[in-house]
């Protein structure tokens, strides 16, 4: 198979409402952010959202216009603040991972879906195993999905410190597909660089041709 040309990247762009729902599923992150940044332009707004429990009791779908009207400000400000809050949580998580970890196992979850990726430092009661699934709605605004499967678990040991990295994939899990891909790469039937330059559907098509 010839070398593939550089492919079109699939970049996810969340709506403001999606970001709101990401924040609403992890209010503890917002509270932590306020503890660290008590004087941001969005501080009063975020405290207000927390007190309202992110409209948890509302049965119908919320709208940004309703949120802005209830807070008595314009929708543009709400949109700007929600994006800032979401991004600064990830930023703080990267700079101060210990704030986001409790007494569980300290891990870094690296999430990938299409051409989108992010990571979050957190704690888990147990380590997931290969091919197990994890639901993490907070990451949907970054990668476009909230369901992942475990591709691998990596242990990094440096002197007396141990870091566990959990590599998560957002696409639909098919174990036969993953085994076939590993086989094709090992046998050089799919070149390593082609693998990174191909879309998922192109890889699937190639695997079906090889192992029909």
Q: What is the pLDDT of residue 31?
A: 96
Q: What is the pLDDT of residue 160?
A: 82
Give the count of beta carbons closer than 10 Å to the beta carbon of residue 48.
13
Instruction: Please tell me the distance from the alpha carbon of residue 106 to that of residue 29, in angstroms, as a whole number.
Output: 17
Out of 93-107, 129-143, 168-182, least confident range: 168-182
Q: How confident is the model at residue 6 (pLDDT cuts 50, 70, 90)?
A: low
**Higher-confidence position of 76 and 180:** 76
| pLDDT tens-digit series, residues 24-42 | 999 999 999 999 898 999 9
Q: What is the pLDDT of residue 1?
A: 46
Q: In this structure, are strands 161-169 and 147-158 parallel, antiparallel, or unpaired?
A: antiparallel
| pLDDT tens-digit series, residues 128-168 | 999 999 999 999 999 999 999 999 999 988 888 888 999 99
DSSP state of 108: E
- The pTM of this model reads 0.86
Instruction: Please tell me the distance from the alpha carbon of residue 156 to that of residue 167, in angstroms, as a whole number.
Output: 13
């Amino acid at each position: 198979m010839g070398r593939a040309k550089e492919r079109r990247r699939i970049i996810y762009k969340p709506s403001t409402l999606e970001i709101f729902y990401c924040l609403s599923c992890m209010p503890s992150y917002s509270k932590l952010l306020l503890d660290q940044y008590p004087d941001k332009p969005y501080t009063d707004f975020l405290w207000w959202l927390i007190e309202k429990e992110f409209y948890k009791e509302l049965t119908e779908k919320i709208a940004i216009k309703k949120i802005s009207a209830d807070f008595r400000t314009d929708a543009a400000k709400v949109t700007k603040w929600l994006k800032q809050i979401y991004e600064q949580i990830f930023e703080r998580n990267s700079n101060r991972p210990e704030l986001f970890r409790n007494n569980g196992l300290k891990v870094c979850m690296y999430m990938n879906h299409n051409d989108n990726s992010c990571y979050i430092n957190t704690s888990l009661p147990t380590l997931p195993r290969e091919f197990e699934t994890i639901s993490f709605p907070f990451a949907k605004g970054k990668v476009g999905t909230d369901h992942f499967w475990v591709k691998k678990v990596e242990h990094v040991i440096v002197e007396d410190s141990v870091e566990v990295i959990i590599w998560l994939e957002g696409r639909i899990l098919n174990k036969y597909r993953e085994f076939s891909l590993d086989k094709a790469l090992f046998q050089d039937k799919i070149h390593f660089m082609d693998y990174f330059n191909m879309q998922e559907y192109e890889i699937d098509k190639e695997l079906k041709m090889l192992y029909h």
